Amino acid sequence: METDRKSIRQTIDAEGFVICPTKGISMYPLLREGETLVRVEKTGGRLKKYDAALFVRKNGELVLHRVLAVREGYYLFCGDNSVMYDRVEDGDVLGVMKGFYVAADGSYKSADDPEVLKYVADRWSDPAKRHIFTPEECGVTPAKSGSKAPIIRRIFPSEARLAADFPEILEHPKRRLIYTFGYWGKALKRKLHRR
């Protein structure tokens, strides 16, 4: 997200909402840089699973991602097109996305629009599948045409964090998948075997 977090917080507090441009590809294909503007409103309580909300990372960066899990005092967020997730405390959430404008024609799509809800359900319904994206879904083109591109998997800081934050993955019948643990260049791939 572009813009200053202090002015956004002040605008939401004063007006009840703010309209912001999006930046980056983390919420692609729903939200596209230069093509969509999001309407963010006061939360009015705790967020629900799969709400898209604006929050501030510890480094001060503004991010609009989706709630994957609601926990005591914090949330787990991840972008629709991201490979890593964030733990975000309640106080760092600025507001919830209620909809977005498409710049090309000025049309507005509510977050509760059936088409948007179907998109969210299709993308996030399977706890095993939702952590795996093909390169095409991430906007990555295979280097050689015709070659079978590898799957891009979500990155988890450790197997313990995966088990603590997303226990349903380890219990899922399709758990014979390789997950990537670690950050940046220190990633370790490990196969999770059936029990």
CATH of the domain at 69: 2.10.109.10
Whether 13 and 104 share a structural domain: yes
The pLDDT tens digits for 4-54 are: 667 888 888 899 999 989 988 889 889 998 899 999 999 989 999 999 999
Domain that holds residue 48: 5-124
| Cα 63 from chain centroid (whole Å) | 9
Q: Hey, is 30 helix, strand or coil? A: coil
Token pair of 89, please? 């405390």
Contact 1, 23 (CB under 8 A): yes
Confidence of residue 96 (pLDDT cuts 50, 70, 90): very high
**Same domain for 99 and 152:** no
Total count of domains within the chain: 2
Same domain? 52 vs 134: no
58-89: per-residue pLDDT in tens? Answer: 888 999 999 988 989 999 998 888 767 889 99
Instruction: Tell me what pLDDT residue 166 has.
Output: 62
State the SS3 of 143-183. CCCCCCCCCEECEECCHHHHHHHCHHHHHCCCCCCEEEECC
pTM (global) more than 0.75: no
10 and 96 co-located in one domain: yes
Are 152 and 180 in the same domain?
A: yes
Q: What is the pLDDT of residue 131?
A: 52
Torsion of CA 137, 141, 142, 147, to 10 degrees: 80
Residue matched to tokens 């991602």: 65
Instruction: Show the CA angle centred on residue 8, arms to residues 102 and 31, nearest 5°.
Output: 25
Q: What angle do CA 66, 101, 47 make, to 5 degrees?
A: 25
Whether residue 174 has pLDDT greater than 50 = no
Co-location of 106 and 136 in the same domain: no
Tell me the average pLDDT of the chain. 75
Flag the least confident range among 43-52, 101-110, 174-183: 174-183
Looking at residue 178, its pLDDT comes to 42
Hey, which bits of the chain come out as E strands? Answer: 17-21, 36-41, 52-56, 62-71, 74-78, 85-89, 93-102, 107-110, 132-133, 152-153, 155-156, 178-181, 188-191
> Higher model confidence: residue 106 or residue 179?
106
